[in-house]
Structure formats: structure tokens, C-alpha cells
Structure 1
Amino acid sequence: MLHIIDDEDVIRDSLSWLARSRQIAAIGYSSAEQFLASLDQPLRFDTEGDCILLDVRMEGLSGIHLFDILSGKKLTKRLPVIFLTGHGDVPMAVDTLKRGAFDFFEKPFNDNKLMDRVQEALAQSRAAGVSAAVHERLATLSAREKEVLELILLGKMNKVIADELGISMRTVEVHRAHVFDKMQVKTAVELAGILK
């Protein structure tokens, strides 16, 4: 989902149309405060990724201030920010990029270049979301399940795992089933794939 935060209706509408032309879902916000209010709801990330197009200068809370809030909440990896401005300067662009902004575009901008960067930001967001989900799943494993997981990743068979851990083969099978279930995979190859 592309989140467009700009206090000009015409900009939000044109960017939404541009996003739809690339089959990117978009939603507009007329202010940073309106976007922040939407974050008060339980945060649900789009499986296709999320990205923010953020105007630097707006009435009320500025885009820079909103970026600082998002950075403080450690959301900018999952919600990459692309700044848009008609009043940008080189030091401002360099500063925001150093602090983790995904990109910085001056108005007027090249539509295709902007949408290419949006698609790259969405891909980064998807990857960050997958990584976060995998870490959440790993956190649900017991200490013994983590030991079994490590040995599965080394390609060891159940009998070898049982011998190394000093437990029965049946217990290994149960732990292996729990690991696969909690990690939402069906094979050791899938497991290795999500953990690389």
C-alpha cells in the first residue's frame, strides 16, 4: 500500500492515479496528523509492502517531524519514506537520507522514476515484513525446538539428532513437527529457505 501524505488535494489525486497505473494500491492523507491517527489503529502491514510518499512542508506537523516520529518508533524499514518537496535543498536531502529516508524527490519529478523507486521501496518493505514475521515465529520455539531446528538445518536425520541430543527418535519427530508447524513450512528445504 502506498501512503500519500500531502496537504494538496491535486497532488494526492495525481499520485494516487499514477500509483494505480502501476497496479499499486494507494491511500491519501491530507496531513501528518491524519496519518498518525491511522497508526493509532492496530498497525496492519500490507503483504505487498508499504511505502510513504511524504511532502516535506505541510500545515501543522511537517513531513520532517513525522519522519522523526516514525524513525523513533523504528518503522522506517517496514514503512520506507520517500520525501517530496518543492522547496528542497541539498543539505535537507542529504540529512534525511543519512537518517534513513528511502529517497528524496524535488517537484516537479519524473513520474516513472518516482514510481520505480516506490516499487523498490515496496519490495524492501515486503522483505522487512517477511524478516519480522520469521523472527516472530522463531521466538515461539522452545529451547529444545531451537536445538532440533539447528540440527535439521545441518541436514541431520532424526536418528542422528536423537543420538546427539540424548532423546528418543519419537521425541525428535514431535519436535520436528512442532518446528515445521510454528515456522509454517512443510519441508526442511523450505525451512532453510526462509532462514537464509
Structure 2
Amino acid sequence: MHYKASQRIEAVRAGKTDTLDLSHLGLTELPNEVFSLPSLRVLNVRNLMLFSNQTMIDLMKESPFEQDPALLTLIEEAEHDLRQDLLVPKQLQTLDARISQLTALETLDLGFNQLTHLPETLSHLPNLRRLLLNDNQLTAVPTSLAQLVRLELLDLTGNPLETKPVLTQLDKYEAYKAHFKQQRSDAFRAKDLDMGVWLFQKEISYGLVL
């Protein structure tokens, strides 16, 4: 197991945090130890942020404040992150059915992996509110996801879905996405650079910009 993954899992086990960030570690599967963390609320296994970083870079370069020192610094940092992401060679291929053991889970971020299917047990997470599955290889999703009554955000963009699932959570996602986009546009038009960049970073963290 990746040493960073081991350290972060141990921090959750010790009760120091209820968030486990395994992103950008090149994991091809979830470590067995993850499934023995009943208090885990946030699990991030996003493996590649290439498109998000590039989108952010492009947007900032189009800003009327492109030469602002603070913005130039942000662009430089984003380009550095993008170069680092290019070094990540591995992604999740499958999602273990034992994911259902994480009953306290509220956020599950599996974006930018190579998942081709999802286990039915994913619908057994009673507290799940945010499920980010963007940019995988899913052609279909279990209809049982409709049982996730607390789910507020479901992101399936960037998947070769053969049919669009009939899930109310997708409509909520589109509404959130439109709202944040409008707020960000208004901020930039008002020349409020700090607010515009902050909103854009929030969009990325919520999986609304890819």
C-alpha cells in the first residue's frame, strides 16, 4: 500500500479526522483497510485532475485581470499541478462491493478513474449526499442509486453512458452547476477577481467544473 495512503488511513482510524484523501496516489483498488473505517464521512479517490486544472488555467488566462500578480501566481500554481497530474499513471479499475460498509459516508469522489461498472451495494449508503463519478468509463449505472434518498449531487459527466439514467439527483446537479456558473460570471463582470476565483475553486471542489 502507498505509504501516504497508509498514513492517512491511520489518521482516520485514530479519530483525528473523518476525511480520507487518497487522490492522486495512482491506486488501482481501494486498500482493504479502508473498509474498516465506520466513521469515515468523506472519501476522495479522484485520480486525475487534468481537465479541471486545464479548465481553470484557461478561464484565468481569459480573465481581464490576466496580468494581475495574484492571478499570475494562481496560474503558475495550476500549471504546476497539471504537470504533476501528468505523472500519475494508474487509476481505479473497479469499486469493491464492500463500499457499503462505510455507512457514515457522505461524500464519495471517484472522478477521473477507469471504472466500467458500479456495484449494487453502492446504493446501501444511507448518508451519501455527494457522489462524483465524472470521467470514468461507465456505460450504465445501477437503477438502485435512486434509493440514495439523501443524495444531492450526482456527477456522471464524461462517461460513455448508453442511456441517461432517470434520477432526480442529476437534475439537482445541473441546477447547482448553472447557479455557480452564473455567480462566477457575475463576479468577473463586476471585476471582483477574488470572488470569481473563489467561486471557481468551489465549483471544482464540488465537481461542478471539469
TM over 0.5: no
Higher strand fraction: Structure 1 or Structure 2?
A: 1
Larger proportion of helix: 1
| TM-score normalised per structure 1 | 0.28
**TM-score under structure 2 normalisation?**
0.27
Structure exhibiting the larger radius of gyration computed from Cα positions: 1
